[in-house]
Structure 1
């Protein structure tokens, strides 16, 4: 498993968020809510790129639950509709992994491999309790076997 590395400036992300797990259907539902209600939100930039943000809490280890946000980048939080959530992610270096295929258990397997195999052997540690899925023009839909998305893990060199 090979990682590329990139440095991103701070990201202002706005979207819709849920707390749950894969079985509850939370992440796919958040994309439907975002697409159906908020694509015209003000101050959106970097279109057509969108992000899935996994924010990990203590419940991730004990109950397999985390916060998931379907989001896009904005230039400001000032004009967001009240129903939207906002996250400010700091400038960071990211390990980037490419995933090709339909969204399926294979995507979950890639996350498992990153955290259980690649990260412990990489010389890096996770720099924050989150990771990103980045969707751009290469993402052709959740069931399309030719879809490509990126997983970004915030990292710093291990001391």
Structure 2
């Protein structure tokens, strides 16, 4: 598993968020509340959706599946003017990311993340940065399909 290393500028995102843990995974609830409102968002950049996690400091280093984090369902926008009712804004900070391209059923993603954090990262010479982690769900993303494709973005230094 070899990622592409990319440095990105800050991005403006609009969406919805929920607090959850891996044991109390509320991802379906989050996306079900976001998707009906997605078309009310102004100034959208492209068609990609962002599934974004904001973990507390040292969350993954001292991993406990019951520890809570913030998860977002969002899209990128060119401006925060005219934010739709019920939506929130988030500025994704600029920085270096390891980008992994994943093809397969999203339900099997835990195996990919385990490989990233237990094999690739310790051998990479990089360390996790305390910025959001996210997945880009583009046009080839198909929830529940073995043919689904997505990008996994891991913040590194």
When the two structures are superposed, what TM-score results if normalisation uses the length of structure 2? 0.87
Provide structure 2 residue ranges, at least 5 long, that are not aligned to the other structure. Answer: none
Pairing 1:56–2:55 present? yes
Residues 77-131 of structure 1, C-alpha deviations (whole Å, 9 max, x = no match) = 2211242122111221210111111221x20121122122211210111222421
User: For residues 64-143 of structure 1, what are the structure 2 equivalents within 5 Å?
Assistant: 64-104=67-107, 106-139=108-141, 141-143=142-144
RMSD: 1.8
Change (3 A) 1:73 1:51: same
Unaligned runs of 5+ in 1: none
In the alignment, which residue of structure 2 is the partner of 1:31? 31
Counterpart secondary structure, 1:67: strand
Instruction: Give the Cα separation in 1 of the matches to 2:103 and 2:28.
Output: 18
Quick one: distance in 2 between partners of 1:81 and 1:23? 31
57-66 or 145-154: bigger deviation: 57-66
Q: Please give the secondary structure, in 1, of the residue aligned with 2:127.
A: strand
Counterpart of 2:50 in 1: which secondary structure? Answer: strand
Task: Indicate the residue corresponding to 2:154 in structure 1.
Answer: 153
Residues 1:43 and 2:43 aligned together:
yes
- CA-to-partner distance for each residue in 1:22-41, whole Å, 9 max, x for gaps? 44341122112111123221
Pick which of 48-57 and 106-115 moved more: 106-115
Q: Residues 136 and 151 of structure 2 are in contact (CA less than 8 Å); yes or no, is this contact kept in structure 1?
A: yes
Question: How many residues of Structure 1 are paired with residues of Structure 2 in the alignment?
Answer: 153
